[in-house]
Structure 1
Amino acid sequence: MTHGSHSKENDVPETAAAWMDTSLPPRERAEKLVAAMTLEQKIAQLHGAMETIDIYALSNAAAANGEDLEQLAAQIRIERHVAGIEELGIPRFRITNGPVGVGMGDGTPSPKATSLPMSIGLAAGFDPALAREYGDVIGSETATLGQHVLEGPGVCLHRTTISGRNFEYFSEDPYLSGVMGVEVTRAIQAHDVIAMAKHFVLNDQEYERFRASVEVDEHVMRELYLLPFEMVVKDAQLAAIMSSYNRIRGVYATENRPTLTDILRTEWGFEGYVQSDFWSCRSAAPSLNAGMDHEMPDAKWLNETNVKNALNDTSLELATVDRALIRRYTQMFRFGQFERPYAPGEIDAAAHGAIARRIGGQIAVLLKNDGELLPLDPNAGSIAVIGQAAYVEQACLGGGGSSKVDPLYTVPPLQGLRDVLADLGGSATVTSVTVADDLANLAEAKRAAADADVVVLMAGLIATEGADQADANMLNDQNRMLTELLGVNQRTVVVLKDSNPVLMPWIDAAPAVLEAWNQGAEDGHVVADLLFGVVNPSGKMPTTAPRTADDTLYARNPERYPGTDEGDGYPVIRYSEGLQMGYRWFQGQGIDPLFGFGHGLSYTTFDVADVSVDAPDGVAAPVTVSASVTNTGSVAGAEVVQVYLGVPAAGQPPKRLVGFAKVLVEPGATEQVTVMIDPAASNHPFAVWDYAARTFAPVTGDHTVYVGTSAADTPHTTAIRGA
């Protein structure tokens, strides 16, 4: 990285020497610093520096109009910091949003960065190495831009397919989400940047997020929704957590001591600090007492008047204020942030763009490929690209709201196709027709499709923070657009660019369908690489795509979503489906989805054989699963061997994911894959929540190990002993 001029804001006066002694442990340094602060200085450090605004009025407007959400984001763009205290050597504490790249950071204007694929796409890669590369880009750019905190990764689950923030989260499966979150966190923090997992907890929907209360049985919360957070805390030494907006059993998440203290700290051993989501803090004393440590972006609650009044009436203790600051300063000292001068540099856009392009190629999911229509021949003649403007005229950056990245550059679809064709020496020509959002020029698009040798239909969904989708259909009548265009030319490929899995009522008429997700800056190149076979798609569905809306867990169940008013005036959302969420729901209910969890095709074929399960001590010791993967096709490709477990306990779903391994195999070659399942791992693979023991515990009876290439395709089964 290239650094700019040195700032004096981190210059430390001699009086600060006691806590600036780098030979001391971070916590001891934090304690010395807090001991030297006045009460007024302490209170000034409990909150962000933004002038307080009426977020509730703005959020209501945002829910009614997506453009207003961007306006709201613009208002908080330059105020993502805590003011420094020069005489104490406390630097201006700079915070940037994530988790899909360096989003809205502290600066004027907010700094530009590499727009990466959405988190849901990253999870489709089923590859921890990709997650490390992804987090490395984010961590590097956060550090280069002089920011101290990256608000990510997001590890809530895709309980519904319509949540507006699913693009920021990884998947419907807690283990997959946890694995990806751990690797992203480690990579970010390797750059001495604080990673902040979010949104803790049960922020699995955006509907009425400032008001809704989530009711969930404890074993369901433990085995599903808390699990990825537990993994990131224990396995990545996470430095910070962001508390969510919603109520949990009637108590706001920022005031919920059972989650913020009893579980997070006492049980899991979390040593970092808890920040409120922006404006999720609802009180002074109750929030600090519960375990929230820092209010962002302003001082609506943790201001001098409220905190002093709480101290005076003893609803708050000074030691609790000190505790909150010590927790944050410990992490700042841990990563050397007091000593680091503010010297923002220049991001290597080309190098990081190349990484984004490589990641993007590995996460696309080939859903369907009848007649091996894909990959396309670079000498295919004329190629017509057809779709609405958001998908054919510009790179699909995805993700509306505060995490949206201001890109350093973008590669639109036509540019990407032409670049890749030129690199391949192909003679095909590419033209496009932009279909109006009201489909007014659909006849023109049909004529273009009929005249072309190959048609590429681009469609999709760009979700946004602050609002869930009304349903799982693509907007602007894109289903009708696809239905009418798919019958025009037999050589037609559908490229989906989605934030969420969508309904596909046109699927039977589509010969080939490629789910590319919201790719970010390198959209044009990534899609072209995949279409022409420069890259062989190897992604797997991280979240189930239902066949119809009636197949979802919340269909005809308003108490599950969007919730009902049970007499308190706010919506109550009951997770009454229990552990049957995601593929667990579809399998438990015997419903056949359109594209299930773990599904994904390739331009080649594979044979998974020689499966063995070594479990001499049953679930009491690590279990080793081995298999061979043979590429039986003509091109190199990657396959994901997936290991699921059937747990013989009442109320458990048929299968849970407990391991996976992605392997690249050359044509005709065979590679060995080994997956170890450790009973002591943070995801408790063989255990269920024991209410009496107040811990995870193994169960008696034979467990079934399932091995295959998706949740539905697990032909290799082995029984192992239980506890």
Structure 2
Amino acid sequence: MTDAVAQPWMNTASSPKHRAEQLVLAMSLEQKIGQLHGNMETIDIYSLAAQVTTQEDMDRLASQIQVERHVAADDDLAIPRFRITNGPVGVGMGDGTPSPPATSLPMTIGLAAGFDPELARRYGDLIGSEAATLGQHVLEGPGVCLHRTAIAGRNFEYFSEDPFLSGVMGVEVTKAIQSHDVIAMAKHFAVNDQETERFRVDVELDEHVLRELYLLPFEMIVKDAEVAAVMSAYNRVRGTYATESRYLLNDILRTEWGFTGYVQSDFWSCRSAAASLNAGMDLEMPDAKWLNETSVKSALSDTSLEIETVDRALVRRFTQMFRFGHFESVYDPGTIDAAGHGAIAREIGEQLAVLLKNDGTLPLDPATVGDLLIIGQPEYVDDACQGGGGSSKVDPLYTVTPLDGMRDVLQGLGSTATARTFTVARDLSNLEEAKEAAAHASTVVIMAGLVASEGADRPGIAMGDHQDDMIDALLGQNSHSVVVLKDSSPVLMPWLDQAPAVLEVWNQGTEDGHVVADLLLGAVNPSGKLPTTYPRSEEDTLYRHHEERYPGVVEGEGYPVIRYTEGLEMGYRWHQANDVEPAFPFGFGLSYTTFDVSEVSASAAATSGDEPIIVSATVTNTGERRGAEVVQVYVEMPRELHQPPRRLIGFQKVWLAPGESRQVSITLDPAATAKPFSVWDYGTGDFRIVAGQYTLHAGTSSADTPHPLALTIR
């Protein structure tokens, strides 16, 4: 008797869903319950979370779960061990003993700075490839919550403050991951925009704000990338835990959007058996705290849960496993091409850096740089800056330190310059020696930044460990100084006026040393644009003096409540709506060359709102170096809609040689999932386009849109 006869779910000629239904039909109740959860030994995560106050605490907690990221196999049913890995910034905490090493990629916030869907595709392709090579079935990413605050602990693994940019990049990452038969998992659904009290906090927001901002990138990934899985969030949404929200997990995700995949809980976000399964959660991770035999059988007995609901959860997940061939694949981990993938990481990383300021000091001339001193605190000078603490942390195959990278690139450029480092103590106890070293160097590269982690938000926007004082002191010692920021979120720059040049490179990961050296020495031209606004001060934030907006207020039910009373005015929309000038606006980024954007036009001045509008522009490189510019299109909605001044609805990156001109065309499709001209209508409970006078604004940042185009929608 063949397997396909004895076990009809193994018949590859059947559809994935039919195979899943056949499998569930053959399972006993105990076998079904065994497939509803992960297989880590249950621990009290809530008491442990209360002990997390530092990056080291988070990493220690994460290390406890790194080899238990799976659902157990059932050999009698031919169900394979279902291997799950974290993955927004590389294959992190994958299932294995020990957790397998992989390529540490630049932070997701950095990827968004590329403003380039092709870069996102290459990024996702590398992660998906490595996950497949390591025998993983699921990669928990991309993360598409928004940068509502500059201090959120997980901004590093989310793309942007803008939902459209987040959605565009997230779609490409998802498609690329799943092209390797690895399930991608969009997270964290929904409004998990802060880490403070993430296990308890309730988020309250209006429906149009939820739909137009915070759900939009999820909707794009579900509809445009056919993501196979979604991870529910820790927090409450309107008083109900996200894992128990039927409105989110069923009404919106499945009924409205047509999602056919499965929903997994974030680790320990499941808070019940019957309520979670009834709402639409399908898999509890990483253990069986709730979906165990005692709880599930009890719920079935008292009819708060039906067996059909259990079956539904299993069919949803097994369908995706059959869809991607997981029942046929054999666990045989291979070897990652460390050097080859590192080269790709280097190429990607070099296109993400944002040049924030330059008085002509950059790029450094390899022939005249002389005695080059790299100076800063240990995380940024002594080692490759990986960032991404917590469950996203990647065990790197290798890393390139700032000193090794600088020496390699200098040698490759034929320079005889020397490079050395000076490590400044975190308490600045050796600052005088540091100042002396900087004063006697030919060129000084000051490296500073921050490494954020899940589990905790930052105490403020300023960099920690007195780094601003350090930079201020060092800049006064040598006029040939530049500042390199290695960040995972926006920071304040009180020393900005003193700095000749500032380059934001993010937490680069494996190829940190080479990427930064290539950029500083002009082997590569910076081409990134800020994916989130950099405020001038702590005062210039939407939550300052608004405790109800963050970190929340206890209103009588014991847990904190955060109210998004700013509405749609978040990120650059908040700055523009309130006439608050940022230090650096969303979409901003300089280059070692210059560009001119001209001949901007739209394919129509009036439309019925059901056909695409094409915005065209000619971009010319007016400088002396090859470089890239990003043309950005924003829409100004009719005044009666009471929308913020601008909304990003299109962009295109173009690389040009010196003197070269090229036309770019950006299609604005009213019917696209991104809904460029739509607003949420409470009357119909859906998006709609309102007739009226619109203005398209084309330019190179949210604050630089000198090309208005009138558009009438009839």
CA distance in 2, matches of 1:669, 1:296: 53
Number of the residue aligned with 2:398: 409
Task: Give 3-state SS (helix, strand or coil) of 1:287's partner.
Answer: helix
Task: Give 3-state SS (helix, strand or coil) of 1:131's partner.
Answer: helix
After TM superposition, give the deviation of residue 650 of structure 1 in Å.
Answer: 2.8
After TM superposition, give the deviation of residue 213 of structure 1 in Å.
Answer: 0.2
CA distance in 1, matches of 2:316, 2:297: 21
Of the candidates 179, 182, 188, which is equivalent to residue 171 of structure 2?
A: 182
Of the candidates 375, 385, 389, which is equivalent to residue 396 of structure 1?
A: 385
Code of the aligned partner of 1:706: H
After TM superposition, give the deviation of residue 487 of structure 1 in Å.
Answer: 1.4
After TM superposition, give the deviation of residue 88 of structure 1 in Å.
Answer: 0.6
Of the candidates 667, 674, 678, which is equivalent to residue 669 of structure 2?
A: 678
Code of the aligned partner of 2:631: V
After TM superposition, give the deviation of residue 15 of structure 1 in Å.
Answer: 6.0
1:631 aligns with 2:621: yes
Map 1:302-341; keep pairs closer than 5 Å. Answer: 302-341=291-330
Task: Give 3-state SS (helix, strand or coil) of 2:664's partner.
Answer: strand
After TM superposition, give the deviation of residue 342 of structure 1 in Å.
Answer: 0.6
After TM superposition, give the deviation of residue 16 of structure 1 in Å.
Answer: 4.8
1:709 aligns with 2:700: yes
After TM superposition, give the deviation of residue 65 of structure 1 in Å.
Answer: 3.0
CA RMSD of aligned residues (A): 0.9
Of the candidates 79, 94, 109, which is equivalent to residue 83 of structure 2?
A: 94
Task: Give 3-state SS (helix, strand or coil) of 2:351's partner.
Answer: helix
CA distance in 2, matches of 1:282, 1:709: 46
Code of the aligned partner of 2:680: W
Say if 1:369 and 1:513, in contact at 8 Å, map to a contact too.
yes
Number of the residue aligned with 1:7: none
CA distance in 1, matches of 2:373, 2:56: 31
1:159 aligns with 2:138: no
CA distance in 2, matches of 1:400, 1:658: 32
Map 1:44-63; keep pairs closer than 5 Å. Answer: 44-62=34-52
Code of the aligned partner of 2:218: F
CA distance in 2, matches of 1:303, 1:234: 33
CA distance in 2, matches of 1:204, 1:455: 37
Number of the residue aligned with 1:614: 603
Code of the aligned partner of 2:580: I
Number of the residue aligned with 1:722: 713
Task: Give 3-state SS (helix, strand or coil) of 1:610's partner.
Answer: strand
After TM superposition, give the deviation of residue 618 of structure 1 in Å.
Answer: 5.1
Task: Give 3-state SS (helix, strand or coil) of 1:207's partner.
Answer: coil
Number of the residue aligned with 2:411: 422
Task: Give 3-state SS (helix, strand or coil) of 1:417's partner.
Answer: helix
Number of the residue aligned with 1:528: 517
Number of the residue aligned with 2:439: 450
Say if 2:194 and 2:457, in contact at 8 Å, map to a contact too.
yes
Number of the residue aligned with 2:67: 78
After TM superposition, give the deviation of residue 196 of structure 1 in Å.
Answer: 0.3
Map 1:143-158; keep pairs closer than 5 Å. Answer: 143-158=132-147
1:169 aligns with 2:180: no
Of the candidates 624, 629, 641, which is equivalent to residue 650 of structure 1?
A: 641
Number of the residue aligned with 1:104: 93
CA distance in 1, matches of 2:132, 2:362: 44
Question: Per-residue CA shift, 1:370-401, capped at 9, x if unaligned?
Answer: 13443443431111111000000000001110
CA distance in 1, matches of 2:520, 2:297: 63
Code of the aligned partner of 2:659: G
Of the candidates 539, 552, 572, which is equivalent to residue 550 of structure 1?
A: 539
CA distance in 2, matches of 1:700, 1:14: 58
Map 1:422-441; keep pairs closer than 5 Å. Answer: 422-441=411-430
CA distance in 1, matches of 2:341, 2:511: 10
Question: Per-residue CA shift, 1:561-583, capped at 9, x if unaligned?
Answer: 00000101101000000000000
Number of the residue aligned with 1:660: 651
1:565 aligns with 2:554: yes
CA distance in 1, matches of 2:367, 2:540: 40
CA distance in 1, matches of 2:87, 2:193: 17
After TM superposition, give the deviation of residue 17 of structure 1 in Å.
Answer: 3.2
Task: Give 3-state SS (helix, strand or coil) of 2:391's partner.
Answer: coil
Code of the aligned partner of 1:35: L
Task: Give 3-state SS (helix, strand or coil) of 1:628's partner.
Answer: strand
State the TM-score, normalizing by the size of structure 2. Answer: 0.99
CA distance in 1, matches of 2:503, 2:261: 41
Of the candidates 348, 352, 355, which is equivalent to residue 366 of structure 1?
A: 355
After TM superposition, give the deviation of residue 59 of structure 1 in Å.
Answer: 0.8
Say if 2:362 and 2:521, in contact at 8 Å, map to a contact too.
no
CA distance in 2, matches of 1:93, 1:660: 39
After TM superposition, give the deviation of residue 288 of structure 1 in Å.
Answer: 0.3
Task: Give 3-state SS (helix, strand or coil) of 1:214's partner.
Answer: strand
After TM superposition, give the deviation of residue 620 of structure 1 in Å.
Answer: 2.8
1:471 aligns with 2:460: yes
1:688 aligns with 2:682: no
Runs of at least 5 residues in structure 1 that lack an aligned partner in the other structure:
1-11
Q: Aligned in 2, Cα 1:655/1:67: closer, same or farther, shift over 3 Å?
A: same
Task: Give 3-state SS (helix, strand or coil) of 2:219's partner.
Answer: helix
Q: Aligned in 2, Cα 1:590/1:422: closer, same or farther, shift over 3 Å?
A: same
CA distance in 1, matches of 2:607, 2:361: 46
Say if 1:379 and 1:427, in contact at 8 Å, map to a contact too.
no
Say if 2:3 and 2:10, in contact at 8 Å, map to a contact too.
no
Code of the aligned partner of 1:202: V
Number of the residue aligned with 1:578: 567
CA distance in 2, matches of 1:564, 1:88: 50
Say if 1:618 and 1:720, in contact at 8 Å, map to a contact too.
no
CA distance in 1, matches of 2:47, 2:130: 34
Say if 1:103 and 1:403, in contact at 8 Å, map to a contact too.
yes
1:261 aligns with 2:250: yes
Question: Per-residue CA shift, 1:522-541, capped at 9, x if unaligned?
Answer: 00000000000000000000
CA distance in 2, matches of 1:523, 1:186: 27
After TM superposition, give the deviation of residue 664 of structure 1 in Å.
Answer: 0.3
Say if 2:33 and 2:293, in contact at 8 Å, map to a contact too.
yes
Q: Aligned in 2, Cα 1:16/1:395: closer, same or farther, shift over 3 Å?
A: farther
Say if 2:626 and 2:657, in contact at 8 Å, map to a contact too.
yes
Number of the residue aligned with 1:8: none
Of the candidates 230, 235, 240, which is equivalent to residue 224 of structure 2?
A: 235
CA distance in 1, matches of 2:69, 2:579: 47
After TM superposition, give the deviation of residue 469 of structure 1 in Å.
Answer: 0.3
CA distance in 2, matches of 1:494, 1:139: 34
Task: Give 3-state SS (helix, strand or coil) of 1:551's partner.
Answer: coil
Say if 1:375 and 1:603, in contact at 8 Å, map to a contact too.
no
Say if 1:13 and 1:88, in contact at 8 Å, map to a contact too.
no
1:223 aligns with 2:212: yes
CA distance in 2, matches of 1:619, 1:576: 31
Task: Give 3-state SS (helix, strand or coil) of 2:490's partner.
Answer: coil
CA distance in 1, matches of 2:211, 2:172: 21
Code of the aligned partner of 1:617: T
Say if 1:156 and 1:203, in contact at 8 Å, map to a contact too.
yes
Q: Aligned in 2, Cα 1:88/1:638: closer, same or farther, shift over 3 Å?
A: same
After TM superposition, give the deviation of residue 66 of structure 1 in Å.
Answer: 2.5
1:29 aligns with 2:11: no
Task: Give 3-state SS (helix, strand or coil) of 1:642's partner.
Answer: strand
Say if 1:48 and 1:295, in contact at 8 Å, map to a contact too.
yes
CA distance in 1, matches of 2:439, 2:285: 55
CA distance in 2, matches of 1:160, 1:54: 29
CA distance in 2, matches of 1:518, 1:722: 43
Code of the aligned partner of 2:12: T
Say if 2:4 and 2:11, in contact at 8 Å, map to a contact too.
no
Task: Give 3-state SS (helix, strand or coil) of 1:57's partner.
Answer: helix
CA distance in 1, matches of 2:623, 2:303: 72
Question: Per-residue CA shift, 1:450-490, capped at 9, x if unaligned?
Answer: 11111100000000100000001111000000111111111
Runs of at least 5 residues in structure 2 that lack an aligned partner in the other structure:
none
After TM superposition, give the deviation of residue 369 of structure 1 in Å.
Answer: 0.2
